[in-house]
Structure 1
Amino acid sequence: MYRILISESINALSEAIKSLGWEIPDEIKVEEPPNPELGDVASSVSFQLAKELKRSPMEITQEILKALKIPDIFSKVESKGPYINFYANYNEFSSLVLNSITEDYGKLESNNTKIILEHTSANPNGPLHIGHIRNSIIGDSLARVLKSAGYEVETQYYVNDMGRQIAMIVWGLLNLDYNMDPFGKPDHEIGKLYFNVNEKLRANPEIKDEVSALLKRYERGDDPELEKMFEGVVKNCLEGISTTSKRLNVNHDAFIWESRFIKNGSVANILKSLDEYIQKNEVVYMDLNSYGIEKELILIRSDGTSLYATRDLAYHKEKSEGSDRYIDILGSDHKLAIDQLKVPLELLGAKAPETIFYEFITLPEGSMSTRRGVFISVDELMNEAVSRAMIEIEKRRTDLGESERLKIAEIVGIGAIRYYIARLSPEKHIVFKWDEALSFERGCASIQYAHARACKLLENANYDRNSLKIDNFDLDDKIEIELVKLMSKFSAAIEESARINRVHNIAQYSLDLAGGFNKFYKALPVIDSEKEDLRLLIVDKFRITIRNSLELIGIEAPESM
């Protein structure tokens, strides 16, 4: 709703400029001034007109003010130097804002655009670890934001079932005296076997040839028993990964198996389409030097098998054909691979993906590796987060039973992880620190607590929206005004997040909104105050807005903490 101040000011300025016989700029610049004493929105349109009119911005401003008809939503318009500053009529503005906030606040109109968003896509050779978690949280949160912004979004997980890692696990099943625990979580059991095979391979490098032979047989597709083993390994691992993802509030609409692009002939068709651009010696490749890329793109190995890049090319072509836009969430080490793929995609007449590259998460003691078995799994991370949250909940809520405390600890612990990742732009490197992620004084827990506090206040007041009688929506306290203005900016924050394909601004918005409510809660009486009904309405609308903003980054808002 804050957009209404901007749109109304632009309309008023356009009409004034038109009445003066001047040409209206393509885009009249209006923004929120840095100091609220300078108004709620301000325009620098006089600077835009100065060059064309060959007059000073100050003179132009005075002419516009004489011709300007002030919309009802503003109480006054003043000039601050050459700037034109609009001050909201807070009775009118607050009425519009508070009455517009319904339970689905933030859900924007459909724009009839389909987006395929691929995220996570970790190799199914072990459990998700915190090196993967940033991909999952960025991808899932962005999908939520884009859906709220009116896009049709399909989230996909690209399953690498033809990679050497899977062949190594199958080799282990065939050659090692190793029994996976049938009661263990399947992705963890597969990860243990993968680690064991790596140890064997380190001791005996000749095993590499046997693994390559298995991979070649699988790609040929003429060995049903071997195919069954590969698929069994991948399905079991995905089962464990899906369980982890569900607990983390991460969802995928579709799992796209890499092998399908061999089986359905897509890879063969692509090679045929690119025939005039490819070269052959021991391998089949594309020389990309003429496209400004020094490293060639290898498509077929010397043994006749395809590479990950070949199948990935077929996958990207399918995504391009099945969407209006498609987005890849990738680690920063994939930049060259994407640049390489863009060349053949263009030659094939396909769209290039929009990409979000993120920097990696490390532990204070260093980097992680599934192959070396040095990592913290996401399951361990969530267990630790919930355990630490439980300690805090037990201190604060001795009145609750064990099951209720555990329920709250789960919401707070998972929320802390998601917020810690979502709050930073993907370009920034993260060193995961427990004390920062799980702080109850800062970050997600403080935001969730603001929601719980609002719920408790409404409960104490026996709040019933239908029984409220509000004749005057005028806000006369700066803290009230700031909170309503913050709530009014929610839709604009969603639009901006969708425009830039980033979610950290939603995390920051949630923190700012919670901060605005905490100031309101501490400074102004609600129950039994002269403005009880209006302030209860503000509290309820805050409850909706903060809940919906947290939901965009996959975080639950508890009613009690």
Structure 2
Amino acid sequence: MQLEQQLSKAIQDAAGTYSDQIQIELEQPAQLIHGDYSTNVAMKLARVAKKNPFEIAMDLKAQLERKELPINQVDVVRPGFINFFIDWDQIQLNEATVNEWATNPRKVVVEHTSINPNKSAHIGHLRNACIGDTLVRIHQLAGSEVEVHNYIDDLGNQLADTVTALLHTESSKPAARFGDYCWEIYSSLNQAYEANELSTDVRDDILHKLEAGNNSIAWLGYAVADKLASEHIEEMGQFGIDYDLLVWERDIVGKGFWEEAFEKLKQTDVFFKQESGPQAGCWVIRTGEDVEDDLEESAHLADKILVRSNGVLTYTAKDIAYHMWKFGLLERNFLYKPKTNELWTTNADGIEAEFGQADAVINVIDYRQEYPQKVVKQALFAAGYEEQANQLHHVPYGVVSLSKQTAKRLGLEVQADKDVYAMSGRKGIGIKINDLITEMKQAVRVQSPQANEQTVETLTFAAIRYNMLRYNTTSDIVFDLDEATQVTGNTGIYLVYTYARANSIAEKAEGANISADGASFARAADSERALLKHLSGWTTTFQKAVHTLEPNLICTFAFELASLYNRFYSQCPVLKANEDEQKRRVLLTQLVIQKLEDVFAILGLPSQKKI
């Protein structure tokens, strides 16, 4: 049993008949003088039992001291806080993370990246992929079977624009890859639209042909989308991000998933055909949300169009059908072909295979798609799939903008009174992933001039991935190249250097025949206790990350661990200490190395033992 669980259970037992009326919470006090753990349970019990909280705390203390707990001391502080001082010699700090679903495994489908196949991927797409990939790693460690989907919208306006641009524009700017060429002509096309040099009717005609299929434009569109999707997969692969299945929108339509979903929804009282008004002839789903008086807003929020009056499906309709398939609620299925040794793709000319059938679904999609995601969930509820609807989780994330300094370095025109620069694919403003890697390597060389090329590579990818993950997912990011490559502070590079430092100390200790065998923390210094206390909170942090779907919790834990270790290193010599101190400090170093390795594996950060 984990330390916090052990303490919580002991407190619950001591609370007796009142234990089911309160929530027991443990926290780690900021100051070591207040113990390693503390609880305010006595104040909560006082409200229920109508007794003095200090008296309750003293009674609980007496009971807890009689239990077999890994504690050296229990203190009570008015008005009723109970502080625990842990006997760290009884704690197994390097035990494996608890696999929550190990005894009853569940399957989780995680959909992430899902870039429109219209041009090269940029830093905003990379944030999506880093968040999604980290959630995959978290849930795998938690004991789930995880299947990773990358959804390719090959029937949308964005692909239609790129095909239109290929047919009607040119770019003389050198491009190493097809996606980079499309980046330039996509921007040129939108300038042509704005200048009325080309009508969007041309794009609309191409979109209709893409949707109709089996014509020259459709086959050209499929080829363009496939090439761009392959480049996106290659780009993400540089960051250790991979997928199990590419799902093509054309295959959702071609397999008739919507027809089956349509029949299910028609049996509900929230899906109906509008007979009058601006939506006449459309099939809509009522979400039940309150709306404003404004007619246009009301039309958007009250009824969501799934099938237009001309019979054309909206994106949300196809997404509803796709999610019914994800949960194994449709009789129809895709056919599949292998794209690489590890990656499969849906394909009309494929074979049967085992995909989908999820117990839970996680979608990493930016916060601007929050409403359509709610509509998908509402459709599942309406169709009677309440359990599945409750297991559909949308992870929204904020947009990535550029700092003024970074925008200037990329050659963008900057203004004196503007510090943040939004990216725009239509205007060609942004950092393509490969350009980001190039610029980041140069910034790393400036910040770490002593680093060799292998180290530059490690620091570059660690800096980028960590910077995509260290913020709360819903926070917008202002990306700054110099800030992300700092050697100190909350960066991936700081973690890599800390890991290398710890390994250097461990190697020197081994060379000096200093062993951790028989180490005791009975006389641990404050900086050593602070490290022990932080390490003991790992399982709670990990479990919270699993349930809140917030990778930044792991980043925060890792940064605090690195900071505490570096403080310990500056205050507590290892090689020059006495024998008892050497043993426990080598053990602490080994524990930090093991935990940083766990963190690197979850966050997908590269590392080096020597720098």
TM range (shorter): 0.7 to 0.9
**Which residue of structure 2 aligns with residue 525 of structure 1?**
573
Letter aligned with residue 82 of structure 2: I
Residue 106 to residue 189, structure 1, CA distance change in 2 (3 Å): farther
How do residues 122-271 of structure 1 correspond to structure 2 at under 5 angstroms?
122-174=115-167, 184-204=176-196, 207-223=199-215, 225-271=216-262
> Residues 314-341 of structure 1: CA distance to partner in whole angstroms, max 9, x if unpaired?
2222223332221222222222322333
SS in 2 for 1:376: coil
- Bigger mean CA offset, 283-292 vs 84-93: 283-292
Q: In structure 2, how many angstroms separate the alpha carbons of the residues matched to 1:475 and 1:254?
A: 54
How far is the alpha carbon of 1:12 from its aligned partner?
A: 3.2
> Residues 87-130 of structure 1: CA distance to partner in whole angstroms, max 9, x if unpaired?
1123323xx22xx34xx667666252222221221111011112
Letter aligned with residue 374 of structure 1: I
Q: Check the 8 A contact 2:28/2:36 in 1, yes or no.
A: yes
Gaps of 5+ in 2: 292-297, 329-356, 404-419
Residue 463 to residue 498, structure 1, CA distance change in 2 (3 Å): farther
Matched, 1:388 2:443: yes
**Which residue of structure 2 aligns with residue 461 of structure 1?**
509
Letter aligned with residue 248 of structure 1: F
How do residues 115-514 of structure 1 correspond to structure 2 at under 5 angstroms?
115-174=108-167, 184-204=176-196, 207-223=199-215, 225-275=216-266, 277-279=272-274, 284-286=282-284, 288=286, 290-292=288-290, 294=298, 295=300, 296-301=303-308, 303-321=310-328, 322-350=357-385, 351-352=388-389, 353-364=392-403, 365-393=420-448, 395-397=449-451, 405-442=452-489, 443-462=491-510, 468-470=516-518, 472-514=520-562
> Residues 377-426 of structure 1: CA distance to partner in whole angstroms, max 9, x if unpaired?
12111111112212333x335xxxxxxx1111111112112222211112
Residue 478 to residue 267, structure 1, CA distance change in 2 (3 Å): same
Matched, 1:548 2:598: yes
Q: In structure 1, how many angstroms separate the alpha carbons of the residues matched to 2:63 and 2:559?
A: 41
Q: Check the 8 A contact 2:171/2:184 in 1, yes or no.
A: no
SS in 1 for 2:605: coil
Select 2:35's aligned residue among 32, 35, 39. 39
How far is the alpha carbon of 1:313 from its aligned partner?
A: 2.0
Q: Check the 8 A contact 2:287/2:378 in 1, yes or no.
A: no
How far is the alpha carbon of 1:511 from its aligned partner?
A: 0.6
Q: In structure 2, how many angstroms separate the alpha carbons of the residues matched to 1:57 and 1:219?
A: 69
Number of aligned residue pairs: give it. 540
- Bigger mean CA offset, 137-146 vs 290-299: 290-299
TM-score relative to the length of structure 2: 0.81
Letter aligned with residue 457 of structure 2: E
Q: Check the 8 A contact 2:441/2:457 in 1, yes or no.
A: yes
> Residues 423-471 of structure 1: CA distance to partner in whole angstroms, max 9, x if unpaired?
1112322211222111112222122111001111222233699965326
Q: In structure 1, how many angstroms separate the alpha carbons of the residues matched to 2:51 and 2:173?
A: 81
TM-score relative to the length of structure 1: 0.88
Letter aligned with residue 189 of structure 1: Y
* RMSD after superposition: 2.8
SS in 1 for 2:150: strand
**Which residue of structure 2 aligns with residue 9 of structure 1?**
7
Gaps of 5+ in 1: 398-404
**Which residue of structure 2 aligns with residue 400 of structure 1?**
none
**Which residue of structure 2 aligns with residue 76 of structure 1?**
73
Give me the identity figure in percent: 24
SS in 2 for 1:78: strand
Q: Check the 8 A contact 2:370/2:394 in 1, yes or no.
A: no
Q: In structure 1, how many angstroms separate the alpha carbons of the residues matched to 2:195 and 2:47?
A: 75
Q: Check the 8 A contact 1:463/1:536 in 2, yes or no.
A: no
Residue 55 to residue 141, structure 1, CA distance change in 2 (3 Å): same
Q: Check the 8 A contact 1:25/1:49 in 2, yes or no.
A: no
